Chain A
Amino acid sequence: MGRNEIRLKRQKLSSGRIAKHRNYDELMARHEREKKIKRATYALVYFAIFAILMILLLAVLTIRKLENQKAKEKKAVYAESIIQYKI
């Protein structure tokens, strides 16, 4: 039924040994680093979203322009064929 490993410590961990690991300046530096990474990640995500939207907008505008151009060309061909027919 051993679900956990139970160990007996004959000696208590001394405060001096724990103090070796205590370093608030390092923690603060890590915190600042993570904050910067978080900010950079957010900026990158926002930039990516903005870039995607711009690409979509450009694509829509280009497609519309092409469609207009095609429609104009069609109209021109149609008008030309009517003129030729009348002549």
Chain B
Amino acid sequence: MSEAELQQEYEILERSKKDPRAFGELYEKYYDRIFRFVYRQTDDEDLTADLCSQTFLGALKNVQRYQFRGVPFSAWLYKIASNEVNKHYRKQKKVKVFSIEEIRVRELMEQANEDWDEELIERMLTFLKGLPTEMLQVLELRFFEDKDFKEIAFILDITESGAKMRTYRAIDRLRKYFNLRIKYDGKE
């Protein structure tokens, strides 16, 4: 995100503090992204709509207290959405769902120059099932939402080095499980 875009968002937020109607611009801009992010963790359209509504309502309620902390505004929305999802699972005491889009997995596989087949995707699902929630969250934000480590750390309320460590550990497990030589951040 460019400096100009950050500045523009900041101005909208400042206006939203005086007039909540101004927040509509950010709502329109980020609704789809937040919806997809939540949907990936619920696999339920109506529940996602509810949680999304809660997320934006929470943001609107607390916009007065928003302070720029070196990450784009969207990271704040992701953080609220992530908390709403966690709150839902805590209340319902259900096993957390991660639904991943085949097309995105295919893209990632192609980036790693791997041949795509059904067996591979089955193995990938089994591998992901074995990963702890913290690692899945980091992987989701890194590879499905294209967030950098600073944003991931902010969203999940962990340190930047913690976010990196979780990602590298997951990649290491992936390498071992598939016996791959994936290059990630210049490391093999």
Residues of chain A touching chain B, judged by Cβ–Cβ distance below 8 Å, are 1-13, 15, 17-18, 21-22, 24, 26-28, 30-31, 34
From residue A41, how far is it (CB to closest CB) to chain B in Å?
14
Nearest-Cβ distance from residue A38 to partner chain B, whole angstroms: 9
User: Which secondary structure dominates where chain A touches chain B?
Assistant: mixed
Contacting pair A30 B53 (CB below 8 A) = yes
- Cross-chain contact B121 with A5 (CB below 8 angstroms): no
Residues of chain B lying within 8 A (CB to CB) of residue A34: 57, 61
Stretch of B72-80, B122-130, B146-154 contacting A (4+ beta carbons < 8 Å): B122-130
CB contacts (< 8 Å) of A4 on chain B: these are 95-98, 128-129, 131, 133, 136
Q: How far is the CA of A67 from the CA of B130 in the complex (A)?
A: 77
CB-CB under 8 A from A2, the residues of chain B are: 95, 129-130
Q: Is B12 an interface residue (CB 8 A)?
A: no
A27 touches B121 (CB 8 A): no
Within residues 139 to 186 of chain B, which ones have a CB less than 8 A from any CB in chain A?
Answer: none
Say yes or no: A31-B136 contact (C-beta < 8 A), given A6-B128, A8-B99: no
A15 touches B100 (CB 8 A): no
Closest B-chain residue to A12, C-beta based? B101
Which residues does chain A contribute within 8 Å of B52, judged by CB atoms? 21
Is there an interface contact between A8 and B53, defined as CB atoms closer than 8 Å? no
A–B pairs, 21, beta carbons within 8 Å: A1-B130, A2-B129, A3-B95, A4-B95, A5-B96, A5-B129, A6-B98, A6-B128, A7-B97, A10-B102, A11-B101, A12-B101, A15-B32, A21-B45, A21-B49, A22-B27, A24-B28, A27-B53, A27-B56, A28-B24, A31-B61
Please name all residues of chain B whose beta carbon is closer than 8 Å to the beta carbon of A9 when the two chains form the complex.
Answer: 43, 99-102
Contact flag A1-B129 (CB < 8 Å), given A7-B43, A27-B53: yes
* Known contacts A4-B97, A6-B129, A8-B100: A18-B57 contact under CB 8 Å: no
Chain A residues with CB below 8 A from B101, complex form = 9, 11-12
Nearest residue (CB) in B for A21 is B49
**Does the CB pair A7–B61 fall under 8 Å?**
no
CA distance A38 to B99 in the complex (A): 37
